[in-house]
């Protein structure tokens, strides 16, 4: 019996949607740090937070576009893991108590994208196609 609700043919486009949405969410964190949008960032940026903002802005934009996707996703996965272990885990061993749920999800979503690739709706996929003559 086939219990699938969503056709398998949707897996590529949905991978692209996952990449775009995850990239947009990461980008939003960088925009918050550097541009105080949509609300002021709650404290001044130190060196580590500045570096985090750069990774969030650049990595989020690259992932949204699907450009250099595997490398960008791998770097962002490591960044999210570091964010969890440095910023959240010392507060509590439980993600629901330390606020690290998003960092863990980002880490594994980006790791999956690094392995699976960008999906069909990406600059990488567009550049890989043969030119039509």
User: Number of structural domains, the chain?
Assistant: 1
Evaluate whether residue 127 is within a structural domain: no
C-alpha 101/C-alpha 110 separation (Å) is: 14
Evaluate whether residue 65 is within a structural domain: yes
Give residue 19's domain range.
13-122
Tens-place pLDDT, residues 102-132 = 999 999 999 999 999 999 999 999 999 866 5
The reported pLDDT for the residue numbered 127 is 94
Evaluate whether residue 6 is within a structural domain: no
Evaluate whether residue 8 is within a structural domain: no
Q: Pick the closest to residue 109 from 82, 73, 85 (CA basis).
A: 73
Tens-place pLDDT, residues 57-115 = 999 999 999 999 999 999 999 999 999 999 999 999 999 999 999 999 999 999 999 99
Evaluate whether residue 33 is within a structural domain: yes
Residue ranges of E strands in the chain: none
Evaluate whether residue 20 is within a structural domain: yes
Evaluate whether residue 106 is within a structural domain: yes
Share of the chain above pLDDT 70, in %: 97
Which stretches of 42-100 are DSSP H helices? 47-65, 69-83, 95-98
Evaluate whether residue 113 is within a structural domain: yes
Give the global pTM.
Answer: 0.93
């Amino acid at each position: 019996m086939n219990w699938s609700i969503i056709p398998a043919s949707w897996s590529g486009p949905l991978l692209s949607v996952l990449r775009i949405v995850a990239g947009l969410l990461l980008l939003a964190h960088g925009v918050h740090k550097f541009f105080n949008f949509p609300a002021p960032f709650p404290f001044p940026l130190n060196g580590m937070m500045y570096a985090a903002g750069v990774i969030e802005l650049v990595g989020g934009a690259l992932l949204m576009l699907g450009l250099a996707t595997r490398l960008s996703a791998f770097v962002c996965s490591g960044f999210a893991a570091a964010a969890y272990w440095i910023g959240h885990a010392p507060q509590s061993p439980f993600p629901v108590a330390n606020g690290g749920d998003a960092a863990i999800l980002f880490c594994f979503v980006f790791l999956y994208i690094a392995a699976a690739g960008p999906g069909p709706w990406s600059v990488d996929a567009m550049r890989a196609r043969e030119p039509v003559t």
